Each structure stands twice: as structure tokens, then as C-alpha cells.
Chains A and B, each alone.
Chain A
Amino acid sequence: MLGGLYAIFAAGLSLIFGVMKIVSLAYGAFAVMAAFLALHFTEATGWSPALSLLVVVPLMAAFGWALQRFVLQRTLGGSALPSILVTFGIAIIIENVLLVTESADQKRMSLGWIDTAALELGAIRLGVYPLGLFIFSLLLFGILALVIAKTQFGRAVRAISEDAPTVELLGIRPKTIYAWAGAIALALAAIGGVASGVQTSFSPTSGGMLLIFAFEAVIIGGIGSLWGTFLGALVLGVAQTVGANFFPSQGILIGHIVFLIFLAFMPQGLSGRVKR
């Protein structure tokens, strides 16, 4: 069930990489930033973290749009290095600003009774929150897949990832597509960040771990495939949970090992599409 969370989070990363060929190292930091925004919002208004999404997600999406349009757009070009360096720098900036303003304490958000509620299904117990999150992630992926498959924006996104110069010849402004993809990606990062802030605790420095999980999910699933990313996130989530059952406190390590096994023996990922 943990996979649902990773899936939401990894989808944005997959989108940025697929469309703009940017490896965004700041992605984890953005999620943590969104979690802190949600935390302050819930503390100020007393609303539930779920409702805070209504504010935090548009805010982060707008931030993502502007960031892509005015900062990351300038790093695009022949080499992947500038965007990696810039996003790495952004991650450090966000992390340190959060450390100064929020302190290094572990924070948590609560949904009230849902946090601990569980469904008894025979031998297994399913947490209501993870289950709800899983269904929510399925829904998000369904919408995202529909947008990518059926809208002009989605067609442009797929076309750009195959041949950006030719897309421009057709009268499409790649910058606009990139900016909206950046907005969607940070909206997903925000949802993932808030959801993980409810699931576990978070601190200004927890972005790095989230980022690694997202990368692992994308690679296990196969780069360039949306549903592959979803599957990859599930595999990672299951590996961590099952691993933790056998080796308590080593769940994350088991997840990494499963990822490494995939990288060694199935580098094209579950969806099997290799993009060069």
C-alpha cells in the first residue's frame, strides 16, 4: 500500500524526465516544502491536511510553472549537466531555508481517527489511510493517463519526448508545454509530500530519501512509461513492507536491494520500453 504514495510522487519525476529530460534533484525538497506549507496551513486554520491540499497544490503548481518557465528553461540544451546542478542547488537552498525557519525537528500531520483506523479482512489488517491513499493514487494516475492520451497537451507531451525540434515546426511552443509539465509535476510532488507527511514524520532533510524512492520507482517501472512508474512504485512499496516484516527496521534497505536487482537484471524496467 506504501506504493500508492511512491507512485504519486514518482509520476511527477517521470513526467519531468520524460518531457524535459531534466533529472530534478530538487524534487524531494519540493515535496518537503509542500509538507511544511500544509503543516502551517493546518496549524493556522485548524483544517485537516487533506483540505490543505486545495491550497498547497495550486500554490506549488504555480511555483512549478514559474520555476520551469523562468529558471529551468534556461538550463535546457545540449547537456543534462546544467539542469542537474541547478536543481541540486535549489534542493540545498530549500533544505537550508527550511532548517533555519522550521528547525530540524521531526514534524507530523494528522488526519485524526483515520490515521490509525484499520479494516479487518480475515487474516490481514488494512489501514484505512494507506488504502485510501492507494485508491486516490490510482485515480490520479487514471486522470493523468487520460490527459496524456486524449488531450492536445498530452499529445504534445508525448511528441516532445520523441522529437522536440519537429514539435516546434508544427507551431507548438515547447516552452509552454514544459512550463505546464513543470506545474503538474510540482502539483504531484505537493500531493506526495503532504501524503507522506501524514504517513510518516518529516523534517527539512527528508527530501533526499523521498527523491531516492521516486527514482527507484521510475527505474523499476521503466523510464518513459506512466503505468510502468505506477507498477514500479508498487514493487518498491511491497518490497519495503514485506522486507520490514522479516527484518524489522531494514525495510528501506530491502527496497534498495530489490531496486539494485532490477537495475542489474532488468535495466529496461517492468514496462520494457527503453528510451535512448
Chain B
Amino acid sequence: MTLVVNDLSAGYGQLTALRNISFSVEAGEILAIIGANGAGKSTLLKTIAGQLRALTGSVVLDGVDVTSLSASARARRGILMVPEGRRLFPSLTVKENLQLGMSTGRKGDWNLDTVCELFPLVAERLNRVAGQMSGGEQQATAIARALVGNPEVIMLDEISLGLAPAIVVEFYDRLGDITKRGTTVLLVEQDVKRALSVADQVHCLLEGQTSLAGRNLDFADIAVAYFGTGQR
């Protein structure tokens, strides 16, 4: 399984927020997408998920071009996104949120029981209304909701946003359980050091363009690419 993104551009209306992004990730790898606010990280994930139309380029999953497919069709092929801000259905219970996550109809290791094992936080709250839970519980539910769909690629958009560091550490510890089943993780993260600690590959965006990409990068180079200093 590989996800190949080729020359991808996207934008909102007249504004092009993402220009000519290319990368490729193998099964079970973690790709960290880093960059300052407004660099286009979330836009990139939305375009891969199919929420946003690509202006140029393609998204290829396992050799199949999915660029023209809708977000729901891509989800059924295994490209699942945990959106920024979690986006649970607040009036539904945790269990109902998870049951909806199974709509992809995909077979695999993940089901209600296994995600509860992964996130005890979710297991204890199955019958709670999602909107009444703490941020950490909601984030765990949002990740679990994507996992029960048995993704090939799971995209996590700023899962640490607004959460206590202790909970964030717990989430990062779980990533290994996800990737060891062959699921690829695309990780958008503000906390660069944390992202680097788990990532196999790094893709740094600056103003919608790739400023640095690769494996085993030097932290000083990343800092330069992140802030765009030294190039101008």
C-alpha cells in the first residue's frame, strides 16, 4: 500500500493555498506535515480527503487514481481523516459516533472492541453524549471513529490542539499500535519536536509550498524551512 501525492494544488475561491505538493508514503509509515499557521497543512489533508477539489495534480492510493472521487468514496477506499476540531456529532452518543464510523464497510482488525482496548477513555464513555465530554475524550473518540472504518491511510489534523500534555503523550504512544497493522499515518502537528519524534518522513510547508521534505533531517535545516529564514 502506498499513497502517492503528485503535484497537488488546491485553494479556496481565487486564493491558491497549496502549490505543487508531491510526496509518497509506504504502508505503516508516519509522515509528519509541519509548518507555520496558514502554511497549508490542513488544506493539504482536506484535498487528500476529497473535501477540497484539487486544482492540479493527483492523489493515488495503491496505484488507483482517486483524485476525481468524492470524500465519501475515498473514505470507503480507506482514506480517512480525523478533522481539526474533532467534529464529533455532539448530540449523538460516543457509541453512535463510532457506529457511524463503520459506514466505510471495510474489513480489518479495528472494531468497537479493539478501539476500546486502544482507548480506555472511550470504553468508559460509550453511552455518554459526545458533546458533553472533555477535549481529550472527544479527541480519542474522533480517532476511534476513523479507526473503526479500518483505514489504509489515517490523517490526523492537530490532534494535540488544546489538550493537556499528558493526554497528548498517550495519543502519540498509540500511534505504533495503528501503524503496526499497516495503516499509514499523515500527521499534521504544530509541535514540531513531538512530530519529529515519531515520524519516518517529514514534509515541511511554507506559504503553501514544500520548503523541505525527506527522512532523517537535521533539526537546524527544519527550523530554517519552517520559518523561511535564510532563503530570502
State the A residues within 8 Å of B (CB).
152, 155-156, 158-159, 162-163, 165-174
Contact = CB atoms under 8 A, between A and B. Distances in A.
Interface residues of B, number: 26
Contacts of A174: 72
A65 to B, nearest CB: 19
Interface of B: 49, 51, 70-72, 75-76, 80-81, 83, 87, 89-92, 96-97, 99-101, 103-105, 145-146, 149
Given A156-B103, A162-B92, A170-B104, 14 more contacts: A152-B100, A155-B92, A159-B100, A162-B89, A162-B91, A163-B87, A163-B89, A168-B51, A169-B71, A169-B83, A170-B80, A170-B145, A171-B149, A173-B70
B92 to A, nearest CB: 6
Counting chain A CB atoms within 10 Å of each CB, which of B76, B103, B104, B146 scores highest? B103
Contacts of A162: 89-92
Contact of A152 (B71, B97, B103, B149): B103
A152 B95 CA distance: 12
Nearest to A166: B87
Counting chain B CB atoms within 10 Å of each CB, which of A152, A158, A166, A172 scores highest? A166
18 contacts: A155-B92, A155-B99, A155-B100, A156-B100, A159-B89, A168-B72, A169-B72, A169-B75, A169-B80, A169-B81, A169-B87, A170-B72, A170-B101, A170-B145, A171-B72, A171-B80, A171-B104, A171-B149
Secondary structure type dominating chain A contacts: helix
A158 B90 CA distance: 10
Contact of B72 (A158, A159, A163, A173): A173
Nearest to A160: B89
Contacts of B91: 158, 162
A172 B92 contact: no
A170 B149 contact: yes
A168 B70 CA distance: 8
B115 to A, nearest CB: 14
B103 A169 contact: no
A172 B149 CA distance: 11
Nearest to B49: A169
A162 B92 CA distance: 10
Contacts of A156: 100, 103
A26 B102 CA distance: 35
Nearest to A176: B72
Contacts of B90: 162
Nearest to A162: B89
Nearest to A159: B89
Nearest to B51: A165
Contacts of B103: 152, 156, 170-172
A155 B96 contact: yes
Nearest to A149: B96
B95 to A, nearest CB: 10
Contacts of B89: 158-159, 162-163, 166
A169 B84 CA distance: 12
B75 A171 contact: yes
B70 A159 contact: no
B99 A152 contact: yes
Contacts of A165: 51, 71
Nearest to A174: B72
